[in-house]
């Protein structure tokens, strides 16, 4: 008979502290990990195993140490989950934190709130004697942001538009807030790689995470120390730059914001073959031969059949993951903040490069304030160069949300569907919406059948009707 029991769930830390009283030290998610760790070799029911782990927390911890670190069965640590409230961290640091894909984040959006004067003064910048310059820039940007907000409003933009677009002028040193849910395995990885980060702010973040979680789950978050492997990344990059013939060799202003640089060859045929493979008993090579023989029209019909019952929130079939598309995009920091949230993509970034220019919102053009944004970018650029000459690693704190970087965005076709539903939709922010539309158009050129229903949620019904009647 099937039995399903609730093994555990996350509740807020204050409630745990209030209810636990003297037994607070025993309130640890290590119990869940320890009991699940024993499932594979112990014949007893998992519920019994958890009871046992609950009775002797030290024994459970020892068992975790042996299984996770001794035997290398690290996935056990994934059963322990933490929630962190994070405040007062810079937008620049958030980029490094949200680089970790096996975690969940919800961030206070700069799109919906009016920003104040809260920014981080990085230790490196104070240490290099640049605090006055930096603070001066921050004050100037906060004041100009407010004036830009008012100008957009005066030119007919509503409050939401004005907030959304004036923030292009705000710096990456602006503070952010987010909630993060992460399992102990990913957390340990996050701590040890951020402990090796060139920025002091991120090293402090890593140490705070360890201070909180290491006490609660010492048997699962065990190796918080920086490693030579992570620490050496900047010097290895410098070596690569040297070998490639210098920094910033091929920077050009302007140019397209999205280019499709690589795609699975013969993608429609391969997609049809994957669908034939999973729906028949044929080998993959026979499925490929069959897909070739069927011809373009019948292949398109096979692909279309998987979408005929689809609704806007449904994902396309997993077979679409067999098709991979590599885009090179140039995006502002504002746009990147949204792009990086797509955890099923492989995202490779370059540093921000001020000579790539800035992204300018239409509302700023309409308000006749392009010059204001450009002037702010150029002032920020001057401080950026000053910081660069003394503490290179901290220079990006001075840049604006409007500054741009190049990104390689490697995405499978199934995730591109998900991406386009959210990001080509009418509710999406304008820059990522424009990017998503460009990426979809490029995909349609190379994968016409597989991409037939790529579109935002808002246009899904019409597109589907056009295709299926």
Ligand X SMILES: Cc1cc2nc3c(=O)[nH]c(=O)nc-3n(C[C@H](O)[C@H](O)[C@H](O)COP(=O)(O)OP(=O)(O)OC[C@H]3O[C@@H](n4cnc5c(N)ncnc54)[C@H](O)[C@@H]3O)c2cc1C
- Contact residues for ligand X, defined by CB under 6 A: 104-107, 109, 341-344, 415, 418, 422, 427-428
Nearest residue (CB) to ligand X, 113 versus 261 = 113
Nearest residue (CB) to ligand X, 36 versus 409 = 409
Measured in degrees and rounded to the nearest 5, phi and psi for residue 312 equal: -55, -30
> Tokens standing for 436?
């998503």
Nearest residue (CB) to ligand X, 195 versus 325 = 325
Shortest spacing between CB 91 and ligand X, in angstroms: 13
Tell me which DSSP letter residue 392 carries: G
Give the dihedral sign, CA 178/394/256/413.
Answer: negative
Round the CA-based radius of gyration of the chain to a whole number and report it.
26
- Helix %, strand %, coil % for the chain, to 5? 55, 15, 30
DSSP labels for 9-28? ----HHHHHHHHGGGGGG--
Are residues 221 and 68 in contact, defined by beta-carbon separation less than 8 angstroms? no
Nearest residue (CB) to ligand X, 183 versus 219 = 183
Going from the C-alpha of 102 to that of each of 70, 227, 411, the distances in angstroms are 23, 21, 16
Shortest spacing between CB 425 and ligand X, in angstroms: 7
Nearest residue (CB) to ligand X, 301 versus 344 = 344
Shortest spacing between CB 111 and ligand X, in angstroms: 7
Shortest spacing between CB 161 and ligand X, in angstroms: 14
Shortest spacing between CB 166 and ligand X, in angstroms: 17
Shortest spacing between CB 108 and ligand X, in angstroms: 7
Shortest spacing between CB 321 and ligand X, in angstroms: 11
Nearest residue (CB) to ligand X, 62 versus 109 = 109
Nearest residue (CB) to ligand X, 56 versus 107 = 107
Shortest spacing between CB 19 and ligand X, in angstroms: 28
Tell me which DSSP letter residue 319 carries: G
DSSP labels for 98-167? TT-SSEEEEE--TTTS---S-B---HHHHHTT-HHHHHHHHHHHHHHHHHHHHHHHHTT--HHHHHHHHG
3-state DSSP call for residue 463?
A: helix
Nearest residue (CB) to ligand X, 109 versus 126 = 109
Strand partners, 331: 405
3-state DSSP call for residue 171?
A: strand
Are residues 407 and 349 in contact, defined by beta-carbon separation less than 8 angstroms? yes
């Amino acid at each position: 008979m099937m039995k399903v029991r609730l093994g555990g769930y996350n509740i807020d830390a204050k409630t745990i502290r209030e209810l636990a009283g003297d037994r607070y030290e025993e309130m640890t998610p290590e119990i869940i990990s320890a009991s699940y760790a024993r499932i594979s070799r112990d014949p007893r029911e998992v519920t019994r195993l958890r009871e046992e782990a609950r009775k002797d927390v030290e024994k459970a911890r020892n068992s975790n140490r042996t299984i996770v670190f001794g035997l290398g069965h690290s996935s056990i640590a994934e059963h322990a989950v933490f929630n962190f409230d994070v405040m007062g961290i810079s937008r620049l640091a958030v980029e490094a934190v949200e680089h970790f894909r096996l975690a969940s984040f919800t961030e206070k959006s700069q799109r919906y709130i009016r920003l104040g004067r809260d920014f981080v003064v990085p230790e490196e910048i104070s240490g290099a004697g640049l605090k006055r310059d930096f603070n001066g820039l921050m004050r100037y940007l906060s004041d100009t942001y407010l004036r830009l907000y008012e100008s957009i409003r005066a030119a007919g933009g509503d409050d939401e538009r004005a907030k959304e677009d004036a923030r292009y002028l705000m710096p990456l040193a602006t503070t952010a807030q987010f909630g993060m849910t992460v399992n102990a395995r990913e957390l340990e990885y996050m701590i040890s790689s951020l402990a090796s980060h060139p920025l002091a702010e991120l090293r402090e973040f890593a140490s705070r995470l360890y201070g909180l979680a290491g006490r609660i789950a010492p048997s699962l978050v065990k190796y918080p120390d920086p490693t030579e492997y992570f620490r050496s990344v900047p010097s290895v990059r410098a070596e690569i730059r040297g070998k490639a013939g210098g920094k910033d060799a091929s920077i050009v202003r302007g140019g397209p914001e999205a280019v499709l640089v690589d795609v699975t060859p013969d993608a429609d045929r391969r997609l049809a073959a994957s669908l034939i493979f999973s729906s028949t008993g044929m080998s993959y090579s026979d499925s490929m031969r069959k897909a070739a023989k069927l011809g373009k029209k019948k292949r398109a019909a096979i692909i279309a059949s998987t979408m005929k019952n689809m609704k806007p929130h449904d994902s396309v079939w997993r077979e679409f993951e067999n098709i991979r598309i590599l885009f090179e995009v140039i995006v502002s920091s504002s746009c990147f903040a949204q792009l990086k949230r797509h955890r099923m993509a492989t995202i490779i970034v370059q540093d921000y490069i001020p000579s790539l220019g800035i992204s300018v919102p239409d509302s700023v053009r309409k308000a006749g304030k392009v010059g204001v944004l450009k002037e702010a970018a150029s002032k920020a650029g001057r401080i950026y160069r000053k910081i660069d000459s003394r503490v290179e690693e901290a220079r990006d704190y001075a840049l604006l949300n409007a500054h741009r970087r190049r990104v390689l965005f490697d995405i499978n076709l199934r995730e591109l569907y998900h991406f386009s539903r959210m990001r080509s939709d009418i509710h999406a922010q304008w820059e990522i919406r424009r990017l998503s539309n460009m990426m979809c158009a490029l995909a349609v050129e190379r994968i016409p059948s597989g991409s037939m229903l790529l579109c935002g949620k808002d246009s899904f019904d019409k597109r589907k009707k056009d295709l299926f009647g």
